[in-house]
Structure 1
Amino acid sequence: MKRRLLLSGTAASLCTPRMVFAQSGRTDAPLTIVFPYGAGGAVDGIIRTLAEYMSGALKRPVIVDNKPGANSIIGAEYVARARPDGNTLLWAAWPTLTTNLALYPSIRFSHSNFAPITSTIQGYTGLSVANQVPAHNFKELVDHVKKNGNQLAYGSLGKGGSPHLMMELGSIVSGVKFDLVPYKSDVQGIGDLLGGHLTAYAGPIANQAPHHQAKTLRIIAISSENRLPDLPDVPTFKEAGFPELVVSYWHGVVAPAGMSRNLITEFNQVIAAGMQQPSVKGKLALDQRVMTSSPESFKSLIESDTKKWGDLIRSRGIKLE
């Protein structure tokens, strides 16, 4: 009897770590981070560098899986259907869980399908004008346009992106009608601005900065709270009297809904540490900064931006479907 009890106790002690391991949700299987855009871009490089750090910290393989299509909807739907077993995460860009819900009414997921882990990056938008435009800040541009028909055509990527929505908000707060001329790429749009075929362009600051520094165009406003260290001569919208245009886009990581709190906490801590690594921070554009958060804060950010920009999209009648 004593031998049987001893063997039973030994078996229990051997199983205990495995049981605790299972209850925590921890696994040694490969972790896949789904990025719902194509490979090779700047953000893709950031994610892959972060994945290398995470692999070492978690002691498990971390794979980046690009699933582009439908403005990030395909990749998001894939993760929404995934098991919450700690093996699949979604790197969500700003539209993925916010504006897409208003722009695509037939979308087949909602916030309830995901468990927020942390935000990762915050970025800002810039507005440039051709050198012949007599404006050095947004207020001067508004005044100039109001004296010349109160309507201005500007270039940007297609409908529904953060630059387009920022300019729609700009129309509301300034009283000027800004008309979008959609482009397929920032390179093409900025090229037309440089070539004299366009008066203004709204988009990522990093793509405009080299031309501003070369004085071939002029960035007259950026959407950050304060001026950027790399562009100290560029004013903000807020400085010009338009605090409503302090806006940003962001990236973050979410899991399929139902993931254990232990796993969410572990991923939050590892990603936050990884985003502070010099190898990761060194890949950020000059208009981006690391912005990590608690799962609760990230959830609040997702919900508040979904309401703010969803209301704007509906009020302005912006549709993609």
Structure 2
Amino acid sequence: MKIAHFALACTLSVTASQACAQLADYPNRPVRVVVGFAPGGAADTVARIMSDAFGKALKQPVVVENKPGAGSSIAADYVVKAAPDGYTVLIASPSSISINPALNPGLSYTAKDLKAVTKITTSPLVLAVSSKTEIKTVADLIKAAKANPDGLNYASSGNGSAPHLGAALFTLLTDTKMTHVPYRGGAPAIQSVMAGDTDLSFGTAPSVLSQVNSGKLRAIAVSTSEKSALVPNLPGMREAGLPDYNLEFWYGIFVPQNTPVPVVKKLYEAATYAMAQPEVKAALAREGTETSMSKSPEDFDKFLVEEDKFWVKLAKSASIAVK
């Protein structure tokens, strides 16, 4: 028995040593950053802007992989099921982390299946309308929506996404009705507004501003109550006539729940380095978003507790069903 115990102890010791060596060696191959929306949208833009600096900090290539659909739940489910080794990470928004798990009991994952690493960006949404409409102000939009209930169509990047919630909050506060048209990402949603297939979108700034600047879309306000320095030419909702409207949007990094703490720490440090680079900040600013890092993974966890309450309450108040 003593020999058997000694052999077991040696085996456990060897296994532990191997695990420690693997952690110390992390990462020793490329890291995948999974995005739950189509190429060209805000999440994809943020991921690609930060990827080079993120890879430089990790000393490994970073590959951005798009898995759009179901309000980014497909991507979240994919990462939840990935090996918890730090080689598959998720860039996610409130839709896949807070809203979808809370409102869709049919999902194969919950928010607890993902471990928070850090918030990386924050920005207002941009209320943009088709240039084919006569809508030029928020007051015009309210008037048009009241005159034709459910006659206006708004595009979003999916059920439960921030653009969906942005429009839902608008209809709640203005007592109007509009028809929701979900797409598989911000880029196709905005393309539908440009084509005139839909009338408007509360789009994420990176997916909207270049089209606004080229004259293909008409932006009429940002979703924060006050003006944003990121989009200084647009009024905030208070100035536009809706003082109770205030919505800000973020992206964060997540990994499978059982990812070792040392790996999470390395990812946090690499993200902190990447988002501090002047070229990354400048590129994000051009897209109407800014870096916004958590003080630590634990700090991001605390932030998410309050965020969950806000987004889920809004989704339930607007009677949003996520399927």
TM-score, structure 2 as length reference? 0.75
RMSD: 3.6
Query: What is the aligned partner in structure 2 of residue 185 from structure 1?
Result: 189
Report the Cα distance in structure 2 between the residues aligned to 1:53 and 1:295, rounded to whole angstroms: 20
Q: Superposed, which structure 2 residues align to 1:4-19 within 5 Å? A: none
Alpha-carbon offset, residue 213 of structure 1: 5.2
Q: Secondary structure at the match of 1:124?
A: strand
Q: Does the 8 Å contact 2:194/2:217 carry over to 1?
A: no
Q: Percent identity?
A: 26
Paired letter, 1:312: L
Change (3 A) 1:84 1:237: same
Query: How far apart are the structure 1 equivalents of 2:102 and 2:146?
Result: 35
Aligned amino acid, residue 297 of structure 1: D
Seen in structure 2, the aligned counterparts of structure 1 residues 179 and 49 have a Cα distance that, compared at 3 Å, is: closer
* CA separation of 1:221 and 1:229: change in aligned 2, threshold 3 A: same
1:166–1:245 CA contact under 8 A, matched in 2: no
So what's the TM-score if we normalise by structure 1? 0.75
Q: 1:302 Cα deviation (Å)?
A: 2.9
CA offset digits 1:260-296 (Å, max 9, x no partner):
3333233212201101223433442532111111223
Contact residue 118 and residue 300 of structure 2 kept, 8 A: yes
Structure 2 contact 80–257 (Cα < 8 Å) conserved: yes
Whole-Å Cα distance in 1 between the matches of residues 116 and 84 of structure 2? 12
1:115 is paired with a residue whose SS is strand
Separation (CA, whole Å) in 2 of partners of 1:182 and 1:38: 12
Partner of 2:236: 236
Alignment partners' CA distance in 2, 1:62 and 1:134: 42
Structure 1 equivalent of residue 73 of structure 2: 73
Contact 1:34 1:67 in 2 (8 A): no
CA gap of 1:287–1:244, structure 2 versus 1, over 3 A, is farther
Cα distance in structure 2, aligned partners of 1:243 and 1:23: 56
The 3 A distance-change label for structure 1 pair 86 and 217 is: closer
TM alignment of 1:90-239, pairs within 5 A: 90-129=90-129, 133=134, 136=137, 138-139=138-139, 141-142=141-142, 144-145=143-144, 148=147, 153-157=152-156, 158-181=158-181, 185-192=189-196, 200-206=200-206, 208-209=208-209, 218-229=218-229, 231-239=231-239
Greater CA radius of gyration, 1 or 2? 1
Q: Residue by residue, what CA displacement relative to the aligned partner does 1:7-35 show, whole Å, maximum 9, x if unpaired? A: xxxxxxxx9xx959918933243252341
In 2, the alpha carbon distance for the partners of 1:182 and 1:67 equals 16
> Does structure 2 retain, via aligned residues, the 8 Å contact 1:36–1:73?
no
- Extract unaligned runs of 5+ from structure 1: 1-14
**1:141, CA displacement in angstroms?**
4.3
SS at match of 2:224: coil
2:262 matched to which residue of 1? 262
Residues 1:132 and 1:47: Cα distance change in structure 2 (over 3 Å) = closer
Q: SS where residue 24 of structure 2 aligns?
A: coil
Alpha-carbon displacement from aligned partner over 1:224-249 (angstroms, at most 9, x marks no partner): 35434464331011333534432122
Counterpart selection for 2:308 from 306, 315, 318: 306
Structure 1 residue 253: Cα displacement: 0.8
Q: Identify the residue that residue 33 of structure 1 maps to in structure 2.
A: 32
